[in-house]
Amino acid sequence: MSDEVIWINVVPNPNKTADNQPDWVAPANPNAPEGKKWTIGVKIGDSWHNQAGWNTKADNGELTGGITFKLTPNSSSGVPQSTENKGFPKAPISANKSEYKF
């Protein structure tokens, strides 16, 4: 068993508008560039994770006082992953256009 301790810091989610959104989120990163909404994640080993928590509810929907956490690994590059190509060409295809003479 590892002696490593993992600390998970969360704050109440001020932007929660639906039940499927977390009640608890990572705190804002004070070192984020202006206009960026970076948060302070959790480092486990060599990888960073985003944390979120939901207030635990009993089967009848009443709060139990517990919190259920979810840790999601960040991409290794720190750059958002692009969506897959939907069949569009990467660059305009102009070689097959007919030449027009006026």
Q: What is the pLDDT of residues 8-62, one digit of tens each?
A: 999 999 999 998 999 999 999 999 999 998 899 988 888 899 999 999 999 999 9
Q: Are 67 and 52 in contact (CB under 8 A)?
A: no
Domain spans, the chain: 32-77
**For residue 58, which of 49, 68, 50 has the smallest C-alpha distance?**
68
Q: Which residue has the tokens 């989610």?
A: 13
Contacts of 40 (CB under 8 A, 6+ apart): 9, 26, 27, 28, 29
Q: What is the pLDDT of residue 30?
A: 92
